[in-house]
Every structure is written in C-alpha cells, then in structure tokens.
Amino acid sequence: MMVLVLALALGVTLGLLTDLQIPPNLLTYVGVAVLAAFDSCFGGIKASLERTFDDKVFAFGFITNTLLAAFIVFIGDRIGVRELYLAAVVAFGIRLFDNLASVRRIVFQRRGWE
Amino acid sequence: MDRITFRPSLVIVFAMLGFLVAIAFNTARDLGQARPDRVGDLATVARDMETQRDELQQRLSELRHRMNDLEREAAEDAGVRETFSRELREARASAGLSGVVGPGLEVILADGTEVPPGADPNDYVIHDTDLAAVVNALLAGGAEAIDVNGERIVGTTPIRCAGTTILVNSVRIGSPYTVRAIGDPVELEAALAEDHSASLVLVTYKKQFSLQVSVSQSNRLQVAAFKGTLRPQYLQQVGGDPS
C-alpha cells in the first residue's frame, strides 16, 4: 500500500514543481480525466486484493474509460449541452464508491473484523 | 495477513492521478486569483474617473460663471447688445444651462420598503424605465424644465440603469428620486394621469409593490442647471444663419 501512496505523492510533487497549466476551458477534461484515473486506481486496488489483477485489462480499461469520458465532454461542448460531462462524473463517482466498498469488505474480511 | 504486491501499471496510474490533480490545482488556483484582482482594478479606475469628473465639472461651472460675467460686461456697453444678451439668457434657460424657477409639479419616487418573502426584489425598486416614463409624461404635459435629483434633463440626457442606481447625465443617483418639472401644475398632473406608462408606475405599481410615490403641485419650484458639457463633436450648422 505504501508504494501507491508514494507514487501519488511523487505525481503531485512533480505536477506542482513543474507548475504546468492548461487553458481554463479544458479544465473540465482534466476533471473528468482525474475521475477516470481515480476510478481505475480503486478498481486496480480491488483487483489486486482479489488477486485477479491483469495488466492488459487494467490498461485497456483505463484508456477506454478516459477516452469515452473525454468524448462525452467533447460532444457536450459541441452540441451546446455542457452539462453532459455530468454523466461521466456520476458514472465514475458511483463506480468509485462501489470499488471502495469492495476494497473495504475485502480488507475487513482479511483482518477478521467481520 | 499475506502481503499483496501491486503491479507497476497500477503504480504508474497512481502517479498520473497525482500529476493530473496537481495540474488541475495549478490551473484552478490561478483562475481564482485573477478575477477579484481585476474587479478591484476596475473599481479603482471607476472611482478615480468619478473624482476626475467631479473636478472637471467644478471647473466647468467656474468657467461658465466667468463667461456669464464677461458676457454681461460686454452687453452692458450698448443697448443693442442688451437685447442680444436677453435672448442669449433665454436660450440658455431653455437649453438647461442655467437654473430656473417657476410653478410646477414635484414627483417623488422611492423604492418599496418591504419585500415579502419569496417575492422578486426587482419588482420593489424604481427602475430607469419608470423614471424615464415619468419624465416623458411630464414633457408631454408641456414641462419647460425638468431635473431629477438636481440633474437637469436636457436634449442629450440619457436615463439608464446602472446596477442598483440610475444614471442621469452620467451621474449615478439613488432612491428616493425627486423629479421637479416647471410648467402648468394642473396640466402636468393631468399629463401624468393620462400617460399609460407613468400611471402604471404611479398608481398600479405603487399599490402592488408598495412603492412610495408622492405628487405635489407647487407655485415656486427651483430646477437646477445642467452641469455637464454640451460640446458637439460631429454636428455642423446647416445654413448661414444659426438662428
């Protein structure tokens, strides 16, 4: 678990140090991308705990999720329904909590708290 | 509990997640900072310009006084010029360049005192259109001079909305609005009652939105002089004789 926290900290430090910025109108894309990454991370942790983690499934899932989310935001922008990105946000949000619940259950079972 | 090892791909995505969050944070932080600064700048600029305008207006009225004096001196020379000078004075009074007195009508409009919960507070204030309707009706009733809170209505006077205040002659005025019109008091009051837009404000909205409205006739009203400039930039006289 420690290595994941370290990786996260490394990413944040790198981002803050380079002080990289994107055009403000693309902020929605980054927001959705963050959610997609979040979702994949929790999904990955869950799969690791269940010992079903597969590099191909994980990488492919991450890439397709991110692309679809970006596509939804893009379509929303184009057809004038900017709120369409909420669809991606809600979908990822629900999955996020689902995965978190699974992780919690597995950890509790392992430690015999249940 | 047995140890769980995480695959490198998961670790990489975690680092990417951190990176993305940092980028979003960078961008959002600068966005948040930019706005208040700009508003502050504009407010300062607006205040400075208003101060400058007040000073210039002060100077303008001083120069007008001096010009009046000089005109009077020049006119005192001969009897012929006396007539000319009187005509000039009358023209100035009509144009709004000098303060005038006479009988007329005083209309006071003020925002509604209490907005009931759930009601739109916009309905309970005097708007630029309300004020314009009253001024218009008074002009229709033959008003010879009108001012609103000391701002003389002249040919180039705009009455428009500026947030919670109203701009008259590019001066911001607020509730209560006192409209003074010189003319036949009875005719002026009748004109207000006849005008659809004005009576809507003075009668209907007054009742509906608890606006405070008072209309009173007077034998002697004072209407202020126009304080702005009348310096045409684009227009040219047509024909040789300006009269």
The predicted pLDDT at position B78 comes to 67
User: Are the C-beta atoms of B152 and B97 separated by less than 8 Å?
Assistant: no
- The structure's pTM equals 0.49
> Please, which pLDDT band fits residue A114 given cuts at 50, 70 and 90?
low
Contact map slice: B 18-57 vs A, CB within 8 A: 18-28, 30-31
The predicted pLDDT at position A29 comes to 86
Q: Out of 3.30.470.10, 3.30.70.1880, 3.30.499.10, 3.40.225.10, which CATH number does the structure's domain B100-223 have?
A: 3.30.70.1880
Question: For residue B1, is pLDDT > 50?
Answer: no
Are A55 and B9 within 8 A, CB to CB?
A: yes
Are A12 and B20 within 8 A, CB to CB?
A: no
Question: For residue B32, is pLDDT > 70?
Answer: no
Give the separation between CA A36 and CA A71, rounded to whole angstroms.
13
How many residues are listed for chain B in this entry?
243
Contact map slice: A 44-103 vs B, CB within 8 A: 44-45, 48-49, 51, 53, 55, 58-59, 62
Question: A7-55: per-residue pLDDT in tens?
Answer: 999 999 998 888 888 887 788 888 888 888 888 888 888 888 888 888 8
Give the separation between CA B162 and CA B176, rounded to whole angstroms.
15
The predicted pLDDT at position B106 comes to 95
Q: Nearest residue of B to residue A22 by CA position? A: B27
